[in-house]
A and B are shown apart, each in its own frame.
Chain A
Amino acid sequence: MIKFLSALLVSFGLLTSFATAEEADRNWDIIGYGGPGGLFNVTAQILQPSLGGDIKMFKTCVESANYARNTTKPSLVLMDLDEHTRFLLKGDDQCTFFKEGDLPFVNIVGEGFLNIYAVKDSGNDMNRFTNDEVFVGVYEGLIMFQGAKTLFEAINPKIKAVPYQNGGAIIAALEAGEIQYGWTSRPKAKYEVVMTTDPAGRGDAAIAKDYTDSGLNQSAYIFYVASANIDPAEASKVIQQILESDEAYAKMFRSAGYSITNGLKSRVEQEDILKELSKAYLVE
């Protein structure tokens, strides 16, 4: 029995390690946080085989930032707009790397535009979205949720935003008929995009800025990379090379409107961009 179990464990180990055999000699860790199947988890999995180091995922940005500030290994640190903005605006800098002397920002990696989607041929079209009392499922994160609510208010005050833990829960509620629309940065092919903040590749979807002057009409989901113990220019170059050539990333993100935007921006420029976005989300 012991032999049998051992054989099973060894086979599992061998099978799972086989695919990761081709690792680069950089040995850079990737530090991030967040939920299962989320953007950071998936991006980290895509980057890791080329970087060679470990993936260190934490539950919150505070823990990941704390780890990143103390690690001695070369590491890339993934941060997103939602957590970042909240802490910056509240003056709580536990999650930000904007402080003088803190980790340098090397890249804005992704800029996924936001989309309202519905079940195909369900009758939940743009007309209904702009005129009726409808329910839209939105990720419950504070900035994302408040931003969505503010945008909906400007388009049709009768829209109600309903908070869900993740995209899977939004889809389940959409299919159950609890909500009529979902809000996402990566729409699934089986659903119809009704409205978008960026029309590229979205077919006949309505464009948000045609319906409201709100500063959120071009809002985007952005996430950032900081570097710890790595030259920022080198880190930026490597990230761009990996993500631009990676097939999985292309299918999951670029095809969903994500683009690798800012190659290397100064700390001041990054901070300005973030503050503008924060204002748009919270002050509208």
Chain B
Amino acid sequence: MLSWKIAPALACGNTVVLKPAETTPLTALLFAEICQQADLPAGVVNIVTGAGQTGRAVVAHDDVDKVAFTGSTEVGRLIARTVAGTDKKVTLELGGKAANIVFDDAPVDQAIEGIINGIFFNQGHVCCAGSRLLVQESVVEEVLDRLKRRMSTLRVGDPLDKNTDVGAINSAEQLAKIRELSDIGEQEGAGRWSPACELPAHGYWFPPTVFTGVTQAHRIAREEIFGPVLSVLTFRTPAEAVEKANNSPYGLSAGVWTDKGSRILWMANHLRAGVVWANIFNKFDPASPFGGYKESGYGREGGRHGLKGYLR
């Protein structure tokens, strides 16, 4: 996250004040040592750790020309309000509720890997996580069956162990939010399933979880959970898939799984999302613009589009 912001800023000749997330200051401070070792002139990169108040002070400072933010839509709104009436440039990379859409002719093995990677990578702490799985009705049983089998092989545990697939949740607060929304999912009538897995005794853990029989009205299908929780919805026609996928205030990313080329392009045209992954998910590249539509924010990171935000 840090390098995605700092690298283009420095490449365009800017100097930087970085305020890392309040729960991840250590990697940022390690990066400070790297800056020193690389003989970066003093003052080019500055790091201030802290919580919301620190962030507010940085964003509101009169001598800041550009604000680049990654985080929640809620804080994004605050920032947009704070910079109102100034000349500051702003790019916001905010929340998402990506639809991962699987058609009946999809390459199932790859799709299952894509779904797993889409929602369980980094414990679902990813703004572009594929948290809504839309499966064509005719293959929903097969897909669910294989998805559950694959989920049973996921290892939950120490994030420093390279055999681990799903690490710990970022904070107690985040864990409470994931638990709350999952309980609401059950209360609203969705079917909850997790593989039998032992969670470590200490720390913040949440098992990989899938909800079936989810409708668009369910809160788990509307709100960003930011955890390893997948909601499964079904559709019959491509038009219905598009309508359900677009029925969200967010528009960051989407996935499409099908063997039919013309359908991929039709879907890509109609999905209101900044990134569309076809027969793949969660791919990034510094040369590829990334960023959202609607309440997922504005501006792009990556590629020529990403540099634009750092130039006058």
- Chain B associates with chain A: no
Measured CB to CB, the residues of A under 8 A from B are none
Measured CB to CB, the residues of B under 8 A from A are none
